[in-house]
Amino acid sequence: MRRLIMPAAVAVALVLALVGAAAVPVQQFAAVAVPDDDRAREAVACPVVPGSDSATTVAAGSPQAELASAALATPERTSPISGSLAVLPATGDPLIVSAPRQDELSATSRVAVGTGEDRGLSMVSCGRPLTSAWFAGVRSGPGAVAEVELINSDAQDASVDLTVYGPEGRVTAPGSRGVIVDAHSRRVLPLGPVFSLEQPVSIRLATSSGRVSAVVRQRIRDDAVPSGADWLPAAAEPSTSVVVPGVPAGGGGRELVVVNPGDRTATVTLQVLGADGPTAVPGVETIDLPPQTSRSVPLDGALAGSPVGLLLTSEQPVAAAVLSGNGGAAGEREFSAQVATTPLAGPGVLALSAGRAVTPALMLSNAGQQPARARITVTALDGTVLRQRSVEMAALAQARVPLPRLTNALVRVEPETPGVLYASVAVRARLNDLVGTASLAMVSGAAAADLPEIRHDPRIGG
């Protein structure tokens, strides 16, 4: 075997180079904190239902009481909002609600209609502009009409792509790529021309440029008779641990929709988080999802009409939602959607306007291995504290906390242990001959809570 002989001069030069390199300090990226600047504001976009029999109403809330609103088309014309909670009409154009970046912020849209295509109680949290969003449980086909409402509150145009996942894999979806949403504008994309299936699907929204706030408007028909309408909010990004809080009690169907966007089969373990702890669902302990598929699983009898949370774990990231009926007879049916959400990393707030006196319920799911506590504060429109109490939850359990009878309120949840509690609010209200139902997911209230730490790379100018 021949041996490589290195000339002495080359060896010496190499050693000196290595020593010199070791003496040069490694360049570290500097961490830059999000600026604590009262002038920097974060905004959410509130969807509307134009032309409905009942106008859209927006509830806006922040304990710090430095809110402002503006129409989407004229964001420079802001109007300050007095107090920590306000109820605002939204006619025609989506409404933009903002607060200082470090403040807690919530805004919700509501439409309550007793008859017609939009019949039912529709409520949804107003969304922040994003570059990616996931929707599970979307129906577009026989007996169902859906549309995606895209709101661009930024000063630059956005280009949106939709990817549809069905039971057999990705669905051919003409017209779903390169959807342009002009700056400071709203665009509604009907899904009927995009795809038609009997089963619910899941949709991933991604922007190739710009950002949008997005929500799906879903309308269901039963033999040509309107059978409920609601907004479907975006679910939490796919993860190996997913929690759907606040699946309501009462009659009606319960349909779990899970999507596996990855390239490997996902074996999903399903646990029900009840008042006394976790239980398995007989016959549905695990769900096998082939790559890039979405599957619906009926859970009507398994949940026995009890309010619960669902915990899904998998080696592959998944996203999920539940579609829940109200148990009404033909002509009185209505549905609501409960989506996987993110845990409360800090205090969470929810601005609530039911339009009439109701007794909503706060649903808290504890996905941690230890008991958890949270402090709950409910404030009325005039600033009066309606209720303040602490709640303790067992490990891997859900607590249902009745709230005081109210019409408008700001609900605040402060977890003692951040990162393990998932929260939503369930609302039931009678509308003519039907019982309207809605669910509102709660997220960490700070407008800047979701902003990542910014790291400066010295190789890039600026």
pLDDT tens digits along 249-281:
887 889 999 999 999 999 999 999 999 999 998
Enumerate the β-bridge partners of residue 435.
Answer: 430
Higher pLDDT, 331 or 205: 205
- Model-level pTM? 0.87
Whole-angstrom Cα distance, residue 403 to residue 393?
Answer: 17
Rounded to an integer, the average pLDDT of 441-461 is: 52
Strand ranges (DSSP E) for 251-396?
254-260, 266-274, 277-280, 286-289, 293-298, 308-325, 335-339, 348-358, 361-366, 372-380, 385-393
Is the CB of residue 339 less than 8 Å from the CB of residue 349? no
Say what the pLDDT of residue 452 is.
41
Half-sphere exposure of 377 (CA within 13 A, CB side): 12
Burial of 213-252, coded b for 16+ CB within 10 Å and e otherwise, reads bbbbbbbbeeeeebbbbbbbbbbbebbeebbbbbbbebeb
Number of helices (H), then strands (E), in the chain: 2, 35
What tokens were used for 211? 């950002």
Query: Is residue 111 predicted with pLDDT exceeding 60?
Result: yes
Whole-angstrom Cα distance, residue 266 to residue 77?
Answer: 49
Say what the pLDDT of residue 387 is.
96
Torsion of CA 126, 131, 136, 141, to 10 degrees: 100
Whole-angstrom Cα distance, residue 400 to residue 274?
Answer: 10
pLDDT tens digits for 304-334? 678 999 999 999 999 999 999 887 776 778 8
Say what the pLDDT of residue 26 is.
36
Of 27-36, 37-46, 136-145, 419-428, least confident by mean pLDDT is: 27-36
pLDDT tens digits for 2-56? 443 444 444 434 434 433 443 433 333 333 333 444 468 999 999 999 865 568 9
What tokens were used for 99? 């607060």
Higher pLDDT, 117 or 236: 236
Say what the pLDDT of residue 433 is.
78
> Percent helix, strand and coil across the chain, each rounded to 5?
5, 55, 40
Is the CB of residue 246 less than 8 Å from the CB of residue 176? no
Q: What is the mean pLDDT of the chain?
A: 87
Whole-angstrom Cα distance, residue 115 to residue 112?
Answer: 9
Say what the pLDDT of residue 236 is.
97
Say what the pLDDT of residue 151 is.
98
Of 50-59, 74-83, 214-223, 423-432, least confident by mean pLDDT is: 50-59
Strands 397-402 and 434-442: unpaired
Say what the pLDDT of residue 436 is.
87
pLDDT band at 215 (very low <50, low <70, confident <90, very high): very high
